[in-house]
Structures are given as C-alpha cells and as structure tokens.
Structure 1
C-alpha cells in the first residue's frame, strides 16, 4: 500500500500515500493489504476506560490523558482531539500532548479548502480539471492531483493565507513541493473540521464562515466517499457513514511511520469531529492500530462526560 512507493517524486522524500493503483494486480494488492490493516486495528484490544480531565489547553480545550489501553510503544506518540457537534457550548477535548505532527495526506482536506476559497474569491466554480483533481485527491489520496492543487494554492504561503481565514493557528506548510511535511496539531485539525462540518454559531460572534455552504458541502461529500481500502482510522470509533481523510508516510531518516486520521463520525446519537495524529510507529500496521485505539478511547472518554 503506502509503503510500496515514494511519497513525492523528489529524492529522499518520505514514503507515503500513493496515486491510484493501476491494473488488476495492483488493485488486488491494495485491497489485500488494506484488509490486513483493518483487521490489525480492530482485533485483540482492551476496551478503553474513560480518561479523567487534567486541566485545559491554551485554546480552552479540555486536556486529558489516554487510558493505558491505547498502548503507544517504543518511540510512538499519539494525540487525539474530539469535538461534539451537538454540544457547541463545550470546547474540544484533547487527549495526549497537543504538539505538532507531520500531516502526511490529511493535509489534502486543507489543500481543497484553500482551493475552494480561491475559487470563491474569483467568483468562479472549480474547473472540470480541478474537480477531477479534487475528487482523486480526497477519495483516492492521489498524490499527483495533490501536487497540482498544492501549486494552485501557492504552496505553503497560500496555505497560510487560507488557514488564517479558516481559523487555524498552529499549522505550518511543508517546504517547497513537500505538502506532506506540513506540521499541524490535533486541535488545529478540529478547527479545520469545524470550518467544514460545524453548522452552529461561528466561534467569533458575528463572523461569517470562510467557506460557502456549497464549498462545505462539496468537501463533506468527497470525505464521505473515500475509497473502501482507506476507510480505517477515526471510523473505528463509530458505525458506518463516517466522513474522513487519512494520511500515512514512512520517514526516510528514521524508517518510522506517521499515521493520521481526521473526520466526522456518529455514535450514541451525537456527531463528533475527531482528529488523531501519530508518529514513531515501526510499521504502518502498528500506526493504524494505534490511531484506531486512540480514536475509540478518546471518543469513549468524551461521551462519558
């Protein structure tokens, strides 16, 4: 799957999400690998216990520790943030240390939001080519499409300008063409997800949403149509119907894996925005399993309060 190819075409670039598989043999390999990863993330795990709140973050979020069942091993680290869309008066709950991680391909949601803001500013819809690139980028995590749209938004400076409008405060675009090395925090990913999914009052009184209703609906639609073999991650904390985007890459410098998942899920009659970021796993399989354990534990702890 992701570890069969380079993340970007430049030399010594981290390995990560690949373009769409070509041919029946590649498709079968992707499906078989994905099935193994999904199984690894759901079998033999202890049920998470509720985590006790332990103060607040600088952004006003509830800060808490993960239960021991999350089980990050070796150099692996993980942080999760959860926001209850049906309890808008509460801030997001953050589990673990809210520190920066490499985004890998979760940045593709932010890239698409930035592209849509540029289209709104010009009062033009996306072109047919841009729509095809956006759909490939989100639904299949296509890197060639992401490369084109990353250039379209103006690389890291363009992302920074868009994120200021979207309310993000802790995301730094990757160097040059390396969008996958953008750095972000779990709480900033909740801010991005709120810009897409939150239909409640704006965080700042009187402020209009940066993204139009049509733009928000478009992103939500694509995130709900992610390819089956890429539907792991935060979806492990809920039933079917999640809207999500995952990212994964292996760092050449360490051989360790960054594995992330962000999206909206539904459980217990509530809709939640969930962001889980991790790094330092020895394999993609271990990273997926860690992210799914963290998602279940964080959502379980949030619903208990």
Structure 2
C-alpha cells in the first residue's frame, strides 16, 4: 500500500522520495527507497547526537556554550552553529565514529567542512530517531531529553514536514537547492502523534523544482506513510520452540 501511494506521489511531483516509518508501540515498520539522499540540515540532529556521545565518553555534561550552540543549531537551524559543533566533534571522522555506535551503517559524512552534504538513507535516519526517542539507546536519558526538547521547539516557520501527519510533533527539517541542477533536496524527520498512536517518521526527497513543491511532496508522503502503516497488520510474534 505504501509503495503504491509513494509511486503516485513520485509520478506527480517528479521528485525521488524515500520513507521510513515505525510505530514503536506495535512494532509496525515500513521502509520505501534505499537510495542515499543529501541530508542538508537534517544532519544537525546527527551532529548533536555525536556531540552528546562524545560528552558521555568524557563523563561530562555539555558546556553552556555547547548547549546554547546546539539550541541555535536545532531550533533555528543556524548553519554557523552547526559548523562550530561539526568542528567540535572532529568533522566527518567524528560523525562516522559516532554513527558506528548509533547503528547508522549507510551514512557517509560530508567532505571537509560540508556537513550538509552528508549522504544518508531513510533507514539510517530511522535508526537515528530510534536512538533519540527509544529507551534502549547508546544515548543517555539526559542526552535523549535534550535532543527531544530542542526538536519540539523548532522555529514556527520551520514547523512543516512530518508535522502534517499528526497533531503533536518533534522534528528537524533540511532543505538545499543544488547548484548543479537548481533542484531542491527537501527532508523531514521526527516523532509525531497521530490517531492515538506515536510514529517515528522520515521523509527524504530530492529533485523538486521549488522548495514549496518539495515541502508539499514531503507532507503528502508523511501523511501517506502514517495512513499506510495504520492499515498494515501487526508483526507476527516470534515462534518460540
């Protein structure tokens, strides 16, 4: 059902779209599309997770500067803040090291200072969301709480994307116009409450002719993913012999 819905969205928009969605309460899960996408500002959640893992290893809390810079990076999507924390975690090698711990296996850090050119898959970003929101995680409860809090305080003009699928949300979006094609990469991920349940939801896209069209595509895909997963049967319990 999800594949049919998204094929229609792709045909209508001309964009390439990947989705991953999980209903943690039931274990229902669906992934559509395994191709890598440019993260743009979606990488900022990954950068913050890497920073928090680094602080955990050093047995310390974030400094006041790190905390305020992280807030600016997530809430307002400030690029200078992201660059500063990218340097703090050790750039691409630091992100790659953190992702081994977080369970991201198909994410390639951006070259040099270009954190926004990190490439990832919907499945990997679902793994990151699970590390951010689930109790069983390499991130401590305090680290998860910080990320969750900041993702719930996104600036009002950036509260689009997966929020279209539900009434309560914590999210981060990414958007970037590629200089070579002038087409847009538009991404959104987070946790959303809808129809009395909770969903972890990732929508990655590239190839939209404008940002507004890309946002519309992502929002249609988010609503379709939640609708499709609600209609799916629950996973079969394991067979115990």
| Pairwise CA distance, 1:270 | 1.0
Is the 8 Å Cα contact of residues 101 and 138 (structure 2) preserved in structure 1?
A: yes
Consecutive aligned runs of 4 or more in structure 1 exceeding 3 Å deviation: 71-75
CA RMSD of aligned residues (A): 1.3
Q: How does 1:19-34 map to 2 (within 5 A)?
A: none
Match of 1:140 among 76, 79, 84: 76
Cα offsets for 1:169-217 (capped at 9, x unmatched)? 1101000000000000001000000001013xx4xxxxxx211000001
Is the 8 Å Cα contact of residues 71 and 150 (structure 2) preserved in structure 1?
A: yes
Match of 2:177 among 247, 250, 262: 250
Match of 2:147 in 1: 219
Looking at structure 1, the residues matched to 51 and 177 of structure 2 have their Cα atoms a distance apart, in angstroms, of 27
| Pairwise CA distance, 1:292 | 0.3
CA 1:151/1:167 → structure 2, altered by over 3 Å: closer, same or farther? Answer: same
| Pairwise CA distance, 1:304 | 0.8
Is the 8 Å Cα contact of residues 89 and 95 (structure 2) preserved in structure 1?
A: yes
Is the 8 Å Cα contact of residues 155 and 177 (structure 1) preserved in structure 2?
A: yes
Looking at structure 1, the residues matched to 201 and 144 of structure 2 have their Cα atoms a distance apart, in angstroms, of 17
Match of 2:67 among 131, 141, 145: 131
**SS in structure 2 at match of 1:195:** helix
Match of 2:19 among 48, 72, 80: 80
Match of 2:217 among 290, 295, 298: 290
Cα offsets for 1:196-242 (capped at 9, x unmatched)? 1013xx4xxxxxx2110000011000000001100000010111x20
Number of residue equivalences: 232
Match of 1:117 among 53, 60, 69: 53
Q: TM-score, normalised by structure 2?
A: 0.93
Looking at structure 1, the residues matched to 16 and 128 of structure 2 have their Cα atoms a distance apart, in angstroms, of 22
Task: Say whether residues 1:261 and 2:198 are aligned partners.
Answer: no
Match of 1:229 among 157, 174, 191: 157
Query: Structure 2 regions of 5+ residues with no counterpart?
Result: 233-241
CA 1:246/1:217 → structure 2, altered by over 3 Å: closer, same or farther? Answer: same
Q: TM-score, normalised by structure 1?
A: 0.74
Query: Structure 1 regions of 5+ residues with no counterpart?
Result: 1-50, 53-63, 203-208
- More helix by proportion, 1 or 2? 2
Q: How does 1:29-48 map to 2 (within 5 A)?
A: none
Task: Say whether residues 1:195 and 2:131 are aligned partners.
Answer: yes
Match of 1:273 in 2: 200
CA 1:68/1:169 → structure 2, altered by over 3 Å: closer, same or farther? Answer: closer
| Pairwise CA distance, 1:65 | 3.9
